[in-house]
Structure 1
Amino acid sequence: AVLRRHAEGFSPRDLDAAGLAPVVTVDEIHAAQRAAAAVSVADDVLGYVVDLAQATRRSPSVQLGVSPRATTALLAAAKVWAWLGGYPAITPDHVQTMLVPTWRHRIRLRPDAELEGVSVDSVLAWVVQQTRVPV
């Protein structure tokens, strides 16, 4: 059915033809982005994010840990999560909540670890457990 619609000229960019209407304006999206970007981050929480990233590189099951870009993505996701919850600053809990969905696809396991049944989620749980949480 999907291919038939495309063959008949369906364009996923034509929202009106798809029967979709916007629920927010572009200005509202930009305002939300600015508000989330304004959520503050204490130095000890920044250090925590760095420590988590470094821990992915120390895991014996990991061939390739998260990159600096993945680390900034986690910070941005934690800021959005905090903003959505009405918090003026991110906490380690915000970081931990967003860690798996942000980093799950950014880690490459060692082939032998995969053969042993190790999952990225279990590695990330280990990373959180092994990393000191700022108080």
Structure 2
Amino acid sequence: MGGVTEATRTTGGATGPVVDVAAAAGRIAENVGRVVQGKDPVVRLALVTLLAEGHLLVEDVPGVGKTTLAKALAASIDATVRRIQFTPDLLPSDVTGVAVYDQESREFEFKPGAIFANVVVADEINRASPKTQSALLECMEERQVTVDGVSYELARPFLVMATQNPLEMEGTYPLPEAQRDRFTTRVSMGYPDQDAELAMLDDRATTDPLAGLHPVADAASVSDLIAAVGRLHVSEAVRRYVVDLVGSTRRSPHLRLGASPRAGLQLLRAARASAALAGRDMVLPDDVKELAGPVLAHRLLMAPAAAGGGRTAEHVVAELVATLPVPRGR
């Protein structure tokens, strides 16, 4: 009998595509961790979103590394990257592109906007008007842009990493429900611990760590990883658990808007990605439970009475996860 490889030992006996996903994701996480220090759970959630072919919303106060996380992940993948600084005067055509009349050919020529890239960093997305924010709706859901009745396919993989400041900050607009529902996950950076902040003061005194970051994957390999994640086995019991969990948000008296069917689809995709990162070739209920908050909470609207009592959407999701029966077996 052949020997057991190190990759097989560290992934609980899994072989093939799952090992490839875990190894490649490990390289990306290590690369990002060189810049975003002390935030391993946040980096892991970003990778889950990438492998689920979703979109990530990073929300927190200014200065805690939201844009740095987005830039570090983008720099770790050898793919087309565009950064859009959202401002109140940003126009939808700046994002999607515009048809320009060419006097020589006497025809309209499409000039692609900043959205035409594999990784799009939408910085401070809630500083743009709702009209400009809505320009991302078709892009994020259908991976295409329609201008003057003509549709243009976007590159694959396609990931939008948006950052936003809390709504109480001056000069911000709340994201509409349809926009929030298109983000697969939401994460809060939080302040670094004392050791990480001290290391940051030393590392960034004279240099920018982002400048020395080199890609450890490319667009084609990421597409292969996404395809491998999509083939992971999910039992009927786990699928029913996802449906029951999403449905419970619609019946909760603490919520006036529960999770959509899109939320269930994205929760299952994220659970597949989480299982692959753990080196497993099947999804467990624990994968769903772990991601329920980051995937569902930002889509929910609190009932006035519950919000007035200090309860948050994260609290409601945690309570639903704690009370919903977990399926047994595989």
TM category (shorter chain) comes to 0.7 to 0.9
Q: Which has the higher strand share?
A: 2
Question: In the alignment, which residue of structure 1 is the partner of 2:248?
Answer: 55
Unaligned runs of 5+ in 1: 1-10
- Out of 272, 297, 303, the residue aligned to residue 110 of structure 1 is 303
Q: Does 1:88 align with 2:287?
A: no
Question: In the alignment, which residue of structure 1 is the partner of 2:320?
Answer: 127
Q: Does 1:27 align with 2:217?
A: no
Distance in 2 (CA, whole Å) between partners of 1:99 and 1:54 is: 13
Structure 1: which amino acid aligns with 2:276?
A: W
Structure 2: which amino acid aligns with 1:58?
A: R
| Larger CA Rg, structure 1 vs 2 | 2
Structure 1: which amino acid aligns with 2:298?
A: H
Q: Which has the higher helix share?
A: 1
Distance in 2 (CA, whole Å) between partners of 1:77 and 1:63 is: 25
Deviations 1:56-96 (A, max 9, x none): 11111010100000110100000000011111110000000
Q: 1:23: how far off?
A: 2.6
Structure 2: which amino acid aligns with 1:74?
A: L
Unaligned runs of 5+ in 2: 1-81, 84-113, 115-209
Q: 1:38: how far off?
A: 1.0
Structure possessing the higher relative contact order (Cα contacts under 8 Å, 6 or more residues apart): 1
Distance in 2 (CA, whole Å) between partners of 1:120 and 1:81 is: 22
TM-score, with length taken from structure 1: 0.84
Kindly report the root-mean-square deviation, in angstroms, between the aligned alpha carbons of the 2 structures: 1.6
Distance in 2 (CA, whole Å) between partners of 1:65 and 1:54 is: 8
Q: Does 1:38 align with 2:237?
A: no
Percent identity reads 36
Runs of 4+ in 1 over 2 A off after TM superposition: 18-23
Distance in 2 (CA, whole Å) between partners of 1:60 and 1:131 is: 15
TM-score, with length taken from structure 2: 0.35
Structure 2: which amino acid aligns with 1:57?
A: R
Question: In the alignment, which residue of structure 2 is the partner of 1:4?
Answer: none
- Alignment length (residue pairs): 121
Q: 1:41: how far off?
A: 0.3
